[in-house]
Amino acid sequence: MSNNTPTQTTSHGLANPELAAFEVHGMTRSSFILRGALAAGAFYGTAAVTPFVSQALAETGGGDVEILNFALTLEYLETDFYTVKGSSLALSGQAKAYAKQFGAEEAEHVAALTAAIKSLGGKPVAKPKFAFPASSEASFLALASVLENTGVGAYNGAAPSIQSKQVLAAAGGIVQIEARHAAAIDLLIGKSPTPSEGFDTPLSKAQVLAKAGPLIKA
Amino acid sequence: MSSPPTEDSAAQPAGIVERLVRDDLDRKRFLKMAGSAGAASFGAFVMAACGSSKKSAATTAAAPAATTSAGSSSPSGDVAILNYALTLEYLETAFYEKVIAAGLFKGRVGSLIKDFGQQEASHVAALKAAVMKLGGTPATQPASKFPIENAAQVAQLAYTVENLGAAAYLGQAGAIKSPEVLASALAIHSVEARHAATLATLVKKSITPDGAFAKPADMSTVLAAVKPFLA
């Protein structure tokens, strides 16, 4: 698969919510099909996919690399959250155990996504600086729930746009872990570990950035 | 329209599963049979399922693409995958119904189990609708049997089943042609993973038994694993 450096780099751009409206240079055929399919309404019962209709994939090979870099940014965020923020708070018991385990797993996701981007000839985004508004175990866990559930939605939202089967397999293997993390955290804080209807709603990049963007500082 | 399989579809499903695991069925044949309107019974479906040890169901797009050149359109490939998922969801729904009827879990856990059962039922409904929308015939519900002895044993069985279900969806992701079907499969896949993680906390096993990356399971592996639950 060919790869040009994406003209729309995302490292500094992600601090800017305007990046939510991606500029692209035309559409691939697969994105036309995707737009049609999603515009017709997903039959799993949610209507939260219309943002995809207004976003198109870059025509040249930047599509999968761009998606992977978006995922990489989220994984950097989660790793930092669990390892740096987590150790700065006096976590105990299950919260502390999860922070350690999940932080290690998110770090593995960072490594895998970085390697995947490089193998596609792309440039992995640099690790951003983050700021997490959490000063107690309770607020830490509440934010963990937001981040993990957003991660599930982000991967599920991006996956149908992925062109490479290998990249899709990697994304699938990762999103399942995010869902497991999300359920564990939600159980711990007394929330339902599952979406009530039984389907995880995919999120658009704009929706993900609305949650994650404010945490990214540079 | 392909002809129905020669074996009587009412034959013992267990025998059919054994045969499928043993035999080296061609994936093209499977997709053609399972995707056609004639392969509605579970027995026929399982007979046609991928039993090849050479190719897993999670192989590249080249495998389902092969069916398109044979004249059957890609929707029949997706129909076959949806019917496979539907079969698993039927089994999960039946399992939770039995568990709930046994009244083994109370309080918050009991409430979670009820939620999971309802969610599996909603997966059945969605997958049926998806198959019909693609012009296929939904697989019929298989007769099933699950050992329900005590809470600990059931929770462990549920953990095993949910992990298997999540791996099954992951194993099919790369084979799905339609982005819409993929989106729906992923929306279900992550919920099965949530079920598994919840049950992990009950049985005090790992939230992430595969580590940082979930492993896919191919169709033959999954069907062999569910064979004991077919009545």
Mean pLDDT of the A85-114 span:
97
The verdict on a CB contact (< 8 Å) between B190 and A176 is yes
**Residue in B216, B84, B182, B83 with CA at minimum distance from that of residue B138:** B83
Nearest to B162 by CA among B125, B201, B123, B189: B189
CB-nearest to B182 from A49, A160, A175 is: A160
Q: Which residue matches tokens 């004249």?
A: B71
The answer to whether the CB atoms of B195 and A173 lie below 8 A apart is no
pLDDT in tens, B194-221: 999 999 999 999 999 999 999 999 999 9
pLDDT tens figures, A65-89? 999 999 999 999 999 999 999 999 9
pLDDT band at B185 (very low <50, low <70, confident <90, very high): very high
Q: What value, to the nearest 5°, has the Cα angle with vertex B98 and ends B218 and B50?
A: 15
* CA distances from residue A32 to A6, A23, A159, A162, B5 in whole angstroms, order as listed: 20, 16, 15, 13, 38
As given in the structure block, the two tokens for residue B78 are 């997706």
User: For chain A, what percent of residues have pLDDT higher than 70?
Assistant: 72
**Which residue do the tokens 């992995």 mark?**
A124
Confidence at A13, pLDDT banded by 50, 70, 90:
very low
CA distance A174 to chain B (A): 5
Query: pTM score, two decimals?
Result: 0.75
Name which of A33, A165, A172 is nearest B179 (Cβ-Cβ): A33
- Distance separating alpha carbons of residues A102 and B225, to the nearest angstrom: 29
Tell me whether residues A168 and B174 touch, CB distance under 8 A: yes
Q: What is the pLDDT of residues B66-98, one digit of tens each?
A: 333 333 445 679 999 999 999 999 999 999 999
- Encoding tokens for residue A143? 């934010």
- The whole-angstrom separation of Cα A200 and Cα B188 is 7
* Amino acid residing at A122: G
The span from the CA of A145 to the CA of B145, in Å, is 36
Q: Tell me if chain A has a CB within 8 Å of the CB of B109.
A: no
CA dihedral A46, B88, B198, B228 (to 10 degrees): 170
Determine phi and psi for A54, rounding to 5 degrees: -95, 0
